[in-house]
């Protein structure tokens, strides 16, 4: 003969199911309450990280381009990267390399070249939109 532990304590056999249901309801309420808090805290941190990463990428990309060097290597490198964007002016004397940040923010590296395609100047900056 087996002894039912719930029968001895005077509680119902449904107690474990009620405890599980109560725990699920409580955990759902905590999740609903904490989710907006996490969004409020995490969104600025993610934005800061993505913007700083874009700015770092643009500055290091620009720093690796030597004055007087040919522009073809940086253009090839940018085209191989999927998330970088490369634009140039109509006369191909100015090349702009964009690095995406958070939502509409972006960093860029501007490179000016002479008619032979050699770098004459460069500049990196972050744009917050």
pTM: 0.69
pLDDT at 14: 53
Please compute the mean of the pLDDT values over residues 41-65 and round it to a whole number: 93
Whether the predicted pLDDT of 45 surpasses 60: yes
CA distance 11 to 20: 16
Give the tens place of pLDDT for each residue, 92-128.
899 999 999 999 999 999 999 999 999 999 999 999 9
The H or E element containing residue 109 is strand 106-113
* Residue pointed to by tokens 């955990």: 27
- Contact present, 71 and 83 (Cβ < 8 Å): no
Q: Which residues pair with 87 in a beta bridge?
A: 96
Domain total of the chain: 1
pLDDT tier for residue 2 given thresholds of 50, 70 and 90:
low
**Percent of the chain, pLDDT > 90?**
49
Please compute the mean of the pLDDT values over residues 9-23 and round it to a whole number: 68
- Contact present, 112 and 120 (Cβ < 8 Å): yes
* Residues spanned by the domain of 75: 5-127
**Rounded to the nearest 10 degrees, how much is the dihedral formed by the CA atoms of 53, 58, 60, 61?**
130
Strand ranges of the sheet holding 119-127, from the earlier edge strand across to the other edge: 85-88, 94-100, 106-113, 119-127
């Amino acid at each position: 003969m087996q002894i039912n532990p719930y029968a001895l304590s005077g509680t119902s056999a449904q107690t474990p199911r009620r405890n599980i249901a109560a725990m699920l309801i409580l955990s759902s309420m905590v999740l609903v309450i904490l989710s907006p808090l996490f969004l409020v805290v995490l969104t600025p941190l993610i934005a800061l990280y993505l913007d700083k990463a874009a700015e770092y990428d643009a500055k290091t990309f620009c720093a690796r381009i030597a004055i007087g060097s040919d522009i073809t290597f940086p253009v090839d490198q940018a085209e191989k990267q999927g998330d970088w964007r490369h634009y140039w002016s109509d006369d191909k004397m100015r090349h702009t390399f964009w690095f995406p940040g958070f939502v509409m923010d972006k960093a860029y590296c501007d490179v000016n070249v002479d008619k032979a395609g050699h770098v004459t100047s460069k500049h990196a900056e972050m744009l917050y939109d």
